[in-house]
Amino acid sequence: MAEDLLIAKGTKEEQYESLIPQLQGLLDGEHHLVANLANIAAALKEQFGWLWVGFYIVRNDELVLGPFQGPVACTRIKKGKGVCGMSWLKAETLIVPDVEKFPGHIACSSLSKSEIVIPIIRNNHVIGVLDVDSIELNDFNVVDKKYLEQIIDLLSINI
Ligand code: SME
């Protein structure tokens, strides 16, 4: 398929609805983990322009930084720490409207104001998380949760 992403305008729903089939096309026939995580991060960043979009992967009982787009970030996060570690511990998506009000939030960038973290669950285990940060307060809601969880489900591979 063409490597150029078609960037949609419109509501958040319309943007996700345009992006998801394109992501499906990018992931189809490619099973390499790093390649797929890298393209998901790049496509989300390109479509939505968020500050930071990326993955942390569980390795030896820690989250380790994976493919991402945005400013450099902390490389390791322990279970239960920060939004990412809490999403891992609870095995659920966390929407944080104001990161300063989240106890234990890990500030990789002082520009980040709100955040959403989606756990990647395979065989009942969290094997990584997708983390998205915005410079706007309250930038994420149930629409993002629904579609970002769908995007994670496109990943057919086990990490
Ligand atoms: N804010 C995250 C840390 C990762 S960075 O935002 C890229 C957290 O509290 O877990």
Q: Is pLDDT above 70 for 2?
A: no
Distance CA 13, CA 54 (A): 21
Under 8 Å CB-to-CB from 137, ≥6 apart: which residues? 97, 98, 113, 114
Q: Is the CB of 77 under 6 A from ligand 1?
A: yes
**Do residues 97 and 116 make contact, with C-beta atoms less than 8 angstroms apart?**
no
Q: Is the CB of 113 under 6 A from ligand 1?
A: no
Q: Is the CB of 83 under 6 A from ligand 1?
A: yes
Distance CA 45, CA 139 (A): 14
Distance CA 50, CA 133 (A): 6
Ligand 1 centroid to Cα of residue 9, in Å, is 28
pLDDT digits (tens, 9 = 90+) for 51-91: 999 999 999 999 999 999 999 999 999 999 999 999 999 99
